[in-house]
Chains A and B, each alone.
Chain A
Amino acid sequence: MGELMIVMDSTGRRRFLKKCLAGVLLGTSGRMGLLAAGEQGASLAKSRVVIARDALLRGAGTTVDSRRMLSLLDCAMQALFDRDNPIEAWKKLVRPGETVGLKVNALGGRGFSSNLQLVEAICERLQEAGIRANDIVVWDRDTDELEHAGFHVSTGGNSVQCFGTDRVDYEPDLVTHGSVGSRLSKILTQRCNVLINVPVLKDHDGAGVSVALKNMYGVIHNPNKYHPNGCNPYIADLNMLPEIRTTMRLTICDATTASYEGGPGYKPEYSWKNNALIVSQDPVALDYTGWQIIEHKRVEKGLKTLEADGRAPHYIATAADAQHRLGTNDPRRIAVVEV
C-alpha cells in the first residue's frame, strides 16, 4: 500500500470506544481556521487516531507493567481496526510470510526511547498473527544506541532480530524526492516488506515536535542535512520516498513518557508520564494530534505555545499539502478516539 488507509467511522464494537471525539478534539490551528466555509465538512472520510491511556500503566512504580502494556496495545489496535479480538486486529495489518521492521527511536537512552515493554508486546502480537520471530526486526540507525536504550541486540537464530543500520550499512545509491537525496538503510530495503513506526512523543528544538514523520530520519544516512528551516520540507519529502511510503503500514507512538520542552534530548524536568499510546495509519494526523497534546501540556506548564515560540511544526502542513498528501492535518478529518 502506498497511501494511508482512511478508516471510516464505524457504529460497531463501540465498547472499545469509551470516548470518541470526532473532529476537533484538541484545538484548531490558525491555518485551519482560514478555510472557506464551503470546504468545511466537505469529506466524510476521516483518519482515525486512537489514543489509548492507562493511568495504572506503571502501577505504583516507575517501570511500565508488561501485562498492562499488552492490554493497552490490544485496546488501541482493536479500536483502530474495529475488531473484538487483538489478533484479528493484527491480522488486518500483516500476513504470515511477511517480514516486519519495527523502526523504534533509540536516541533518548533508557529514559526516553521507544518503550521496551511496548516493543515486546508488539512482537508478541505479530507472532500470534503469524509472523515468524526472526522475520521481525527491531531497528534504528545504531546498534550501540539500541543497547543503550535497553534493547537486547540479536542478529541470528530464530528469535526476534534487533540491530542497527551500522551493522548492515546503507544502500550505495541515492534515492531522491524534492529536497531530499539520501541513502536508505538496508534494513528497510532488503530486510523488511512491512514497516511499523514506533516513535516517541517529544518536543524538538528544530522541527517543533518529533513524532511519526520525523522518526524516519533514522532511516537515512544523512539526517544532519535536513534540520534547517524547521526540517521543512525535508521531513515531508523524506516520507514521500517510495521505499518508505509503500512499506509503512502503521504508527504506534510510544507516549508513555513524553516531553513538552527541551527536546529532542531527554530532560526529565520537561517530561511527563503520559501513560498513553497513540496509534494511527495516518502519520500526518498522528503528528498533528501529538503536536496538540504537547501544546496542551505547554499551556498547562505556563510555557508559550510552539507557534508563539517560533517553533510551530510547519512540516506537518507540508506533509498534508497537495504535493505530498501523506495524510491529513485537518482536524475536521481526524477522528480522535480515546480508549
Chain B
Amino acid sequence: MSCALDRRSFLRCGLASGAALGVCEFAQTLVAIPSWAGPQKQDDSRFTVEAKFYQKLQNKKIKCKLCPRECTVGDRERGYCGVRENRGGTYYTLVHSRVCAAHIDPIEKKPLFHYLPGTLAFSLATAGCNVNCKFCQNWDISQVRPEQVPADYAPPKLVAELAKQHDCPTIAYTYSEPVIFSEYLMDTADAGHEAGVRSMVVSNGYMQEESLKTAYGKMDAVKIDLKAFSESYYKDVVVGELKPVLDSLVTLRKMNKWTEIVYLVVPTLNDGDAEFRGLARWIKTNLGVDVPLHFTQFHPEYLLKNLPITPVPTLERAKAIADAEGLHYVYIGNVPGHPAQNTYCPKCRHMLVERVGLTATQILIRKGCCPFCRQPIPGIWHA
C-alpha cells in the first residue's frame, strides 16, 4: 500500500464525494488472511509527534493537560480521546498529519455567517474526540482510534498549498474534534498563514485555558458548539462539563477572536424556555449582544436515534427568546430556506446577507456596515 498523499489523491478524498465526509483511499487487504478480513494497520511513525500539553509523572505516567478531563495515562495506554498515547513516559499524538476526512465546503456549512461569506474552506479532520456526544453525526470518525479509520498523510504545507490552489481562503479544522489534534492544527495554521491562507476551527471548546490560548490563538475565527446550558446535559449526553466551555468562550472573547456559537436543539433534552433564556442572558452578559448564535436542528444519529427531528417551531421559539433578550444575530440552522438563515441589520432590519441552503446568494454589507443605515455589522467580511 502507499500512504503517500500526492495532490491528486488527496483531492480525490476531498472532491470526489458529495457526501458529508470523504474517506481517503487506504490500504488494500494483504494476502493470507481470511476472506472476511479488512485493511491492515498503517505504520504510524509519520503521524506520531510528541504532544505539547502534558505533564510527566512518576512511574512513567503522564497527566494530559489538553482538556479539562486531565487523563492520567500509564505507559502504553491512551487517554479518553484515543489518539494520544504514553510511550515510555512520553506522551505522543498519533494523528499529526493523519487526515481521515477532507472536503472543500462553503464557509456557511461550518457555520460561520459573519466570516468571509460566500467563500470556501478547505476542511479536514483526524480521528478522535475528547467527549462522546450521544447525537454525534460523525461518530464513525470522532469515536474511533486513528488506526480504525482510513487516513492519509497530509503534512501542513501540503494542506496550505492545496487550499490556496483551490481558492480556499481558509483552512477549517472540523468534523471530529480539533482539540485533540491541536499540534497538527497549530502547525497547519502556521503553514497556512505563511502561504496567505487563514484558519478557523469548529470545536466543542472543552479544553484548558493554556491549550486554548496556544492553539486557538492561531485561528482567525472560531465556532464553538455550546451543546446545552446545563451541567446535567453535559454530564449525561455529552460526557463532558459545561463550565470549562463557558470559560473558553470568555477567554476567546478576551483574545478578541471572532467567535460564533451553535446550539443544537435536541427535543426534550435541551429545548426548554428557561434554558434558552439562561443561555441568551449569559451570552449577553459575558460575550455581548453581537455574538452570532445559531439554533440548529437535530437529526437522530448515533445513540439518540429514538428522538425526532427538532420541530421548526421549537427552533423559532428559541430564536424568539434570544431575540427578546437582546441578541442581535440569532440564526436558525439546518432548515434550508428558513428566513432566519439570513443576516439582517439590527438597526434598520434590512436584509444584508441572503442565504439559500449553504450558499450566500446576496451580500450587501459594505465596508463592514449596513449600506442602508451605516450600522456597523460585526464580523470579518473581506479577506
Contacts and interface: CB of A to CB of B under 8 A. Distances in A.
A137 to B, nearest CB: 10
24 contacts: A143-B41, A155-B37, A156-B34, A163-B33, A167-B38, A167-B40, A168-B33, A169-B38, A169-B148, A174-B139, A174-B303, A181-B134, A191-B36, A205-B74, A221-B143, A221-B144, A221-B148, A222-B143, A224-B79, A224-B81, A224-B145, A225-B82, A225-B239, A263-B74
A225 B33 contact: no
B147 interface: yes
A265 B75 CA distance: 6
Interface of B: 32-34, 36-41, 59-60, 72, 74-82, 132, 134, 139-140, 143-145, 147-148, 239, 302-303
A168 B34 contact: yes
A264 B77 contact: yes
Nearest to A148: B76
B80 A227 contact: yes
A155 B143 contact: no
Interface string A170-187: 101010100001000010
B33 A224 contact: no
A156 B35 CA distance: 10
A144 B78 CA distance: 16
Given A156-B32, A167-B33, A222-B82, 20 more contacts: A142-B41, A155-B33, A156-B34, A166-B40, A167-B40, A168-B36, A168-B37, A169-B38, A169-B148, A174-B302, A191-B34, A191-B36, A221-B143, A224-B79, A224-B82, A225-B82, A262-B59, A264-B74, A265-B77, A267-B59
B237 to A, nearest CB: 12
Contacts of B303: 174, 176, 181
Given A170-B148, A181-B303, A265 B74 contact: yes
B80 A228 contact: yes
A225 B39 CA distance: 23
Contacts of B72: 205
Contact of B36 (A174, A186, A205, A221): A186
Interface string A209-242: 0000000000001101101100000000000000
B41 A265 contact: no
Nearest to A222: B143
A156 B33 contact: yes
Given A155-B32, A174-B302, A181-B303, A166 B147 contact: yes
B72 to A, nearest CB: 7
B329 to A, nearest CB: 35
A107 interface: yes
Contacts of B147: 166
Interface of A: 107, 142-144, 155-156, 163, 166-170, 172, 174, 176, 181, 186, 190-191, 205, 221-222, 224-225, 227-228, 262-265, 267
Nearest to B71: A227
A176 B305 CA distance: 12
Contacts of A170: 148
Contact of B39 (A169, A176, A263, A264): A169
B302 A181 contact: yes
A228 B239 CA distance: 10
Nearest to B132: A225
A247 to B, nearest CB: 17
Nearest to A186: B36
A220 B125 CA distance: 23
A192 to B, nearest CB: 13
B346 to A, nearest CB: 42
A173 to B, nearest CB: 10
A221 B37 contact: no
B172 to A, nearest CB: 25
Contacts of B132: 225
Contacts of A224: 78-82, 145
The listed residue with most A CB atoms (<10 A of its CB), out of B33, B34, B74, B239, is B34
Contacts of B60: 265
Contacts of A176: 303
- Closest 5 A/B residue pairs (Cβ): A169-B38, A224-B82, A155-B33, A166-B41, A265-B75
A143, A168, A186, A191 interface centre (most CB from chain B within 10 Å): A168
A168 B36 CA distance: 7
Nearest to B80: A224
A228 B79 CA distance: 11
A172 B78 CA distance: 23
Contacts of A205: 72, 74
A168 B79 contact: no
B113 to A, nearest CB: 33
B3 to A, nearest CB: 15
Nearest to A166: B41
Nearest to A172: B140
Contacts of B78: 224
Contacts of A167: 33, 37-38, 40
Contacts of A174: 139, 302-303
A165 to B, nearest CB: 9
B143 A225 contact: yes
Given A176-B303, A222-B144, A224-B81, A107 B76 contact: yes
Contacts of A166: 40-41, 147
A107 B85 CA distance: 13
A168 B60 CA distance: 32
Contacts of B37: 155, 167-169
Given A155-B32, A156-B33, A168-B37, A221 B80 contact: no
Contacts of A144: 41
Contacts of A263: 74
Contacts of B148: 169-170, 221
A265 B60 CA distance: 10
A156 B140 CA distance: 30
Given A143-B41, A221-B145, A265-B76, A155 B82 contact: no
A266 to B, nearest CB: 9
Contacts of B74: 205, 263-265
B206 to A, nearest CB: 14
